[in-house]
Chain A
Amino acid sequence: MLVTTALAIVRIRSLFAVVMLSGVFSLLSALLFVTMDAVDVAFTEAAVGAGISTVLMLGTIALTSRFERISSHASSPIPLVVVLITGMVLVYGTLDMPNFGDPNAPAHVHVLPDYLERIPHEIGIPNMVTDILASYRGYDTLGETAVVFTAGIGVLLLIGGLGRRRRKLVADDKKSEDA
Chain B
Amino acid sequence: MRHHLILRVITKLLVGPIILFALYVQFHGDYSPGGGFQAGVIFAVAFILYGIVFGLDKVKQVFPEWLVHKLLALGVLIYAGTGIYSLFAGYNFLDYSALAHDPEHGQHYGILIVEAGVGITVSAAMVAIYYAFGSRPPRISDEEW
Q: Which positions in A face B, CB cutoff 8 Å?
A: 16, 39-40, 43-44, 47-48, 51-52, 55-56, 59-66, 121-127, 129-131, 133-135, 138-139, 141-142, 144-146, 148-149, 151-153, 155-156, 158-161
Chain B contact residue count (CB 8 A cutoff):
57
- Kindly state whether residue B38 has any CB partner on chain A within 8 Å: yes
Cβ 8 A contact of A130, one of B48, B83, B115, B129? B115
A133 with B76, Cβ < 8 A, contacts A122-B104, A127-B30 known: no
Question: Assuming A122-B107, A138-B114, A142-B83, is B130 touching A56 (CB within 8 A)?
Answer: yes
Chain B interface, >50% SS class: helix
Residues on A with beta carbons closer than 8 Å to the beta carbon of B37: 44, 48, 144
- Interfacial chain A residues near B111, Cβ < 8 Å: 123, 125, 130-131, 134-135
B33 and A160 form a contact (CB under 8 A): no
Of chain B, the residue at the smallest CB distance from A38 is B33
Inter-chain CB contacts under 8 Å: number: 152
Given contacts A40-B33, A52-B44, A125-B111, contact A156 B69 (CB under 8 A): yes
Instruction: State whether B30 touches A55 (Cβ < 8 A).
Output: no
Question: Is chain A's binding surface mostly helix, strand, loop or mixed?
Answer: helix
Contact B30 A152 (CB under 8 A): no
Interface centre among A131, A139, A142, by most chain B C-beta atoms within 10 angstroms, is A142
Kindly list chain B residues whose C-beta atoms are within 8 Å of the C-beta of A40.
33-35, 38
By a CB distance below 8 angstroms, the chain B residues around A52 are 41, 44-45, 48, 126
Of all chain A residues, the one with the shortest Cβ separation from B72 is A152
**Contact among B31, B75, B145 with A16 in the assembled complex (CB-CB below 8 Å):** B145
B94 / chain A contacts, CB cutoff of 8 Å: 138-139, 142
Give 5 A-B contacts (CB < 8 Å), ordered by A residue. Answer: A63-B139, A126-B30, A126-B31, A145-B122, A159-B133
**Closest beta carbon of chain A to B134's beta carbon, Å:** 6
A144 to B93, alpha carbons, bound, how many Å? 16
**Assembly CA distance A149 to B40 (angstroms):** 13
